[in-house]
Amino acid sequence: MDLKSMSLGERIAAGSGAVFFVALFLSWLEALTAWQLFDIVDVLLALLALVAVVLPLAKATGAALPIRPSNKAILTRVGVIVLTVTVAFFLEGADRGFGIFLAVLAAAGMLYGALTMPGDEAPSRRRERARRPLVEEDYEEPPPGMESWRASARHAEEPDPDETGARARRPVDEETDPGPGSLQPARGIEERPRRERSFEEIEFDPEPERTETRSRRLPPEGPPTPDR
């Protein structure tokens, strides 16, 4: 047990819990101890005082307790409960003894020690699983039935060193100039670079003018009428 590893707040909380447990055996009200005054409250106060002592000592010994909240949160609640109960009986009771004065001071010390403790993270129940990076691929041990697929995928991804070296050593003119004896496609209209025109440059045909024509009534065809 390494008591030096305990903080000042933990020491105050543990010492105050021990003093409060001893105060339960002293006179509280009318020369009666806490064990004689109460039926269930005294047991509850004794358990809370032991919790205030055990938690800091367990941390000093290095024992990991399976509890979800942190020690600071637990001891703070313990101090609030114990101080509230003892102060309530201290204010309502008559003929107070030395034990109840000592119990009030010890309960205040438990709460003060819990509040001054350094905050520590509660132990998490969930364990983070080590994630494998997506980039890494194990080609040495393929799964059963995937040997051919893994080998083909590997050869497809890895470039051929001979081909890359030949491309690097090839001069630029050899790639661009096919030579005098090779056939070259004629540069037609389709291969010429097209220049995109803006909306202002586009010429639209004027709308043809509409001419209204009136149909003329022609006389019916037939023999001419004689003049009278």
Q: Which tokens is 175 given?
A: 């790639």
197-211 pLDDT, tens digit per residue, is 555 556 656 665 655
Domain that residue 104 falls in: 3-115
Number of domains in the chain: 1
Predicted structure pTM score: 0.49
Give the length of the chain. Answer: 228
Q: Is residue 70 part of a domain?
A: yes
Q: Is-contact 86 107, C-beta < 8 A?
A: yes
Strands (E) located in the chain: 27-29, 32-33
Tokens matching residue 143: 């799964």
Task: For residue 78, tell me if it sits in a domain.
Answer: yes
Q: Is 43 helix (H, G, I), strand (E, B) or coil?
A: helix
Tokens of 96: 């107070």
DSSP one-letter code for 176: H
pLDDT digits over 4-19, tens only?
777 888 889 889 999 9
pLDDT digits (tens, 9 = 90+) for 147-194: 565 555 555 555 555 555 555 555 544 445 555 555 555 555 555 556
| Cβ-contact 116, 75 below 8 angstroms | no
Q: What pLDDT digit, counting tens, does each position of 26-40 carry? A: 988 888 888 888 888
